[in-house]
Structure 1
């Protein structure tokens, strides 16, 4: 069964550049795992970003998260200082 996730990233001042570089490296990988970025939003002050992402199943998300290219890009995420939260969500 398809699953949908809401990813929230809270960015400290000065973290946007590294976060954008990380996203540029990892978002293109989604399709390889059946993932789809449904929506990408950012607050007007550039401090919070939200993604609505769907995968065919939770195993595909796990495989995406285990991709070595994501691991290689992880230092960018760390240097951005972003606090990331991933929530499984459903339509209501």
Structure 2
């Protein structure tokens, strides 16, 4: 199993569009054997933290190149959120 923590930052003025994008792409996780374990929104309204698991690294890799995800991101342009992903494990 692969566990990831994603720190998502929304572009200023594009918070609503960014949140809709995240809603849509997170719904794609299942087709790649991924699961959203936890989704937290920052009190600033401009950031989120996601804890995501995949059954295997190949699922994460296929999620990254999912054509629907790529199209959604392209269509959002400069309003697309930026994301930092950290591979994590339980201690």
Q: TM-score, normalised by structure 2?
A: 0.89
Which runs of no fewer than 5 residues in structure 2 stay unpaired? none
Equivalent-residue separation in structure 2 for 1:82 and 1:25 (angstroms)? 13
Which of 4-13 and 70-79 deviates more? 70-79
Q: TM-score, normalised by structure 1?
A: 0.88
Cα distance change, pair 4–77 in 1 and its aligned pair in 2 (3 A): farther
Contact residue 5 and residue 51 of structure 2 kept, 8 A? yes
Contact residue 73 and residue 80 of structure 2 kept, 8 A? no
SS at 1:91 equivalent: coil
Equivalent-residue separation in structure 2 for 1:66 and 1:26 (angstroms)? 12
Which of 17-26 and 41-50 deviates more? 17-26
Structure 2 residue 70 is the aligned partner of structure 1 residue 55: no
2:16 match? 17
Cα RMSD, aligned residues only: 1.5
Which runs of no fewer than 5 residues in structure 1 stay unpaired? none
Deviations 1:17-54 (A, max 9, x none): 12112113211110111100000001111121100000
